[in-house]
Amino acid sequence: MPDETNYRLVKLASGAHSIHSLAHDETFHPVIGPLAEAEALYVRQLKLRERFERHSGEFVIWDVGLGAAANPVAVLKAARDWSSKIQIISFDYTLEPLEFALQHADSLGYLTGYEEPLQTLLASRQSNFRDRRAQIEWTLHLGDFPTLIQSDASEIWPKPHAILFDAYSPAKNPAMWTQPLFARLYDLLDPARPCAMPTYSRSTMLRASLLLAGFFVGAGHATGEKEETTIAANALELIDEPLDRAWLKRARNSTSAEPLWEPIYRQSRLSPATLARLEAHPQFSHD
């Protein structure tokens, strides 16, 4: 059972309820609410409904930061009328937010209809079920993601078509936002399988880290709280608004652009070596 002193239910300005982590002093999906933010940031931005319609065979999603499961549940609701198999692989270091969410499922609302599969996921780290026409296979890896992703076992994880990246902020959880972590994430992708990864941050530091890892990077859609987010992909065609040389110029002048090379939060200007690598990125070669 989760420690009730670690989380509390909060009512947002939108009227929706969400969860506040007292330990991190951060609210999950603030402002517009869990389901609305997950729909805007992940489902619509990844164009999942359109991709599902065009896709044949299994569609694999990595859910980095399961939390209270709003992001994968939003994906499932978008996919339930698509007649195929979806494999979700979730990662988190704790089950407490999801346990807390299930205890308050009536207030949160978005978990309605998914309580039983989620209880199975909590109990056995695996849940297989049918959601209308879609066949779902859901696996949970419990542990420290920066450690898990460097393990030999990560080499055999099914390669994703999409990644939901939702970690606590860099200032609160720097280990999840280092350049080496994103470089490893990129290396684990299948180059022949187009994969996109949105996240809520629009920081120059994050975007520089993703570019140096090998990703193409673009400006992402607004979500209610954020006027702009970020989307990265291993295929440029998955990005509607790629960063251009005007962004590169702003990054050059930024006081918080150098990637986190170690899991220690700090802010600094781009080093000459980092800037040179960014300028050589193929995304900017035809600008």
**Where residue 220 falls among pLDDT bands split at 50, 70, 90?**
confident
Q: Among the CATH numbers 3.30.70.580, 3.40.50.150, 2.40.10.340, 3.90.1170.50, which is that of 31-284? A: 3.40.50.150
* pTM for this predicted structure: 0.94
Instruction: Choose the weakest-confidence range: 52-61, 171-180, 181-190.
Output: 52-61
Cα 224 to chain centroid distance, Å, stands at 17
Which stretches of the chain are DSSP H helices? 34-38, 48-54, 70-79, 96-103, 105-108, 115-124, 145-148, 179-188, 204-213, 245-253, 272-279
Q: What are the tens digits of pLDDT across the range 135-171? A: 999 999 999 999 999 999 999 999 999 999 999 899 9
Rounded CA separation 181/154 (Å)? 13
Q: What are the tens digits of pLDDT across the range 71-94? A: 999 999 999 888 789 999 999 999
Rounded CA separation 223/166 (Å)? 13
Confidence at residue 193, expressed as pLDDT on a 0 to 100 scale: 97
Confidence at residue 287, expressed as pLDDT on a 0 to 100 scale: 52
**Where residue 29 falls among pLDDT bands split at 50, 70, 90?**
confident
Calculate the average pLDDT of the chain: 92
Distance separating the N- and C-terminal Cα atoms of the chain:
53
Q: For the chain, give every domain's residue range.
A: 31-284
pLDDT more than 90, % of the chain = 76
